[in-house]
Structure 1
Amino acid sequence: MENRLYRQIPGKDMVEPWLDLPAPYSHEYFPKLNRGGRYLVLGASAGGHEHDVADYEIFLWQVGAPADQVQRLTFHSGNDNWPDIYTD
């Protein structure tokens, strides 16, 4: 599999590509859906992969929207990872 998120198709024994962020942040990690399944929050890096030290940024994606409409939430050179999302 390539650097993108895949999803399991309910009721079937198969996966499909789900989200592939535009470069340079096409290394997606730590995906988490909100309770209603409408939003996905995730970390992505421009090349680093070490979970404790790489420069991850946090992104918010409305499920089903084009990948280029993802919203970047963090802009810090530190290690932003393990995101969570809560919506009413």
Structure 2
Amino acid sequence: MRLDKFLKVSRLIKRRTVAKDVSEQGRVWINGRDAKPSSAVKEGDELAIQFGQKKVTVRVERLTESTRKEDAATMYTVLKEEPFGTSQE
């Protein structure tokens, strides 16, 4: 599944266009590497997303083409949340 679509379907980011913009700005990493909106996301991948001054790292648990709002959080597990800039990039 495309990165921008996963971010939208999982509701980590509310709109696909915003997900596309965020990844084009270099604020999303898959398994430690810069990710583009079209990058492939697989189960087990670790995504790091910079939201302003916060960096959230999640593990992809499952991929579905669509999901209900209540079930969206089951698509990923939050591994850590930290202020951006504290980890060694």
User: Do they fold alike, i.e. is TM over 0.5?
Assistant: no
Task: Determine which structure has the larger helix proportion and give its number.
Answer: 2
Task: Determine which structure has the larger strand proportion and give its number.
Answer: 1
Q: Which is greater in Rg? A: 1
Q: What TM-score comes out, normalization by structure 1 length? A: 0.43
